[in-house]
């Protein structure tokens, strides 16, 4: 009995330790980014969520799990109309598969529980082929942009906020799919589909960077030109005066 009790206690402790790795409290600040596939500075003022191999969802086999090096960091913002997700994925095997069977692509899946009953999946692949998913109807109202780097890509997406508003806690989760060839025969997914993270919509707003004031090149070009001309005329006048004086002196001597 003691051994059984010890085993059950150990199992309970192990299970409890797993929960924090898959559930997090994240805060989204209020701010509106430009949807261009670039992580603006205002995103970094807000909360973020990491996705890596500690959060296993599925794989085509153990070889795929071992081959994947994908990790991701997702940043959150919101305003009165949209949720904003910007995810930078580090992926050494970035490949354009198109979108096969609505999930077989290097992609970021955004899981949101809008109604407290069932999670919706809104996905965008690394090459922005399309916005797709399941248990959701407003795909045409979403806006996405992606960029690709050397061993990385960024998926930025705006998703209609629905009935959520400032102060609400939104159940969300992120899943990253990693495939290795164009046929998508082998792949793995890290993250969660359980919307087990709590995204709090804060009343605090981001601080926007000061806009850069462009200088007028025409004005800059005029000033030095005029100054140079004035200086040149003065020098020319002085030279002429000195030349005239020299001529007079020369005549007097002769």
Series of mean pLDDT values for 10-residue runs along the chain (254 residues): 37 34 87 98 98 96 95 99 99 93 94 97 97 96 98 99 99 98 96 98 96 70 49 45 42 42
pLDDT of residue 210: 86
* Per-residue tokens: 78: 């919101």
**How far from 140 is each of 17, 56, 108, 132, 143, CA to CA, in Å?**
40, 30, 17, 9, 8
3-state helix, strand, coil in the chain (%, to 5): 30, 35, 35
pLDDT of 235 reads 44
Residue 176 to residue 71: CA distance in whole angstroms: 8
Which residues partner with 86 through β-bridges? 75, 156
Determine whether 135 is exposed, middle or buried from the number of CB atoms within 10 Å of its CB (0-12, 13-18, 19+). Answer: middle
- Write the secondary structure of 52-68 as one string of H (helix), E (strand) and C (coil): CCCCEEEECCHHHHHHC
pLDDT at 211: 82
Residue 201 burial (10 A CB sphere; 0-12, 13-18, 19+): buried
| pLDDT value for 138 | 97
Residue 115 exposed, middle or buried by CB count within 10 Å (0-12, 13-18, 19+): exposed
What is the distance between the alpha carbons of residues 98 and 151, in angstroms, rounded to a whole number? Answer: 18
């Amino acid at each position: 009995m003691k051994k059984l009790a010890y085993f059950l206690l150990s199992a309970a402790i192990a299970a409890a330790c797993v929960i924090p790795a898959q559930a997090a409290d994240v805060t989204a600040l209020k701010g509106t980014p430009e949807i261009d596939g670039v992580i603006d500075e205002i995103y970094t003022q807000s909360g973020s969520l990491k996705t890596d191999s500690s959060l296993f969802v599925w794989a085509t086999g153990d070889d795929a799990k071992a081959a994947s090096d994908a990790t991701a960091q997702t940043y959150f913002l919101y305003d009165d109309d949209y949720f904003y997700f910007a995810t930078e994925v580090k992926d050494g095997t970035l490949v354009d598969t198109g979108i096969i069977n609505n999930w077989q692509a290097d992609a970021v899946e955004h899981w949101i529980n809008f109604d407290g009953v069932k999670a919706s999946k809104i996905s965008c692949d690394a090459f922005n082929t399309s916005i797709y998913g399941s248990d959701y109807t407003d795909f045409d109202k979403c806006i996405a942009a992606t960029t690709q780097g050397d061993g990385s890509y960024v998926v930025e997406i705006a998703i209609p906020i629905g009935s959520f508003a400032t102060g609400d806690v939104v159940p969300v989760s992120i899943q990253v799919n990693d495939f290795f060839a164009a046929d998508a025969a082998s792949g793995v997914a890290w993250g969660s589909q359980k919307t087990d993270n709590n995204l709090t919509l804060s009343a605090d707003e981001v601080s926007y960077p000061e806009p850069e004031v462009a200088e007028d090149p025409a004005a800059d070009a005029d000033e030095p030109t005029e100054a140079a001309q004035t200086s040149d005329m003065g020098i020319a006048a002085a030279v002429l005066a000195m030349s005239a004086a020299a001529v007079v002196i020369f005549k007097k001597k002769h």
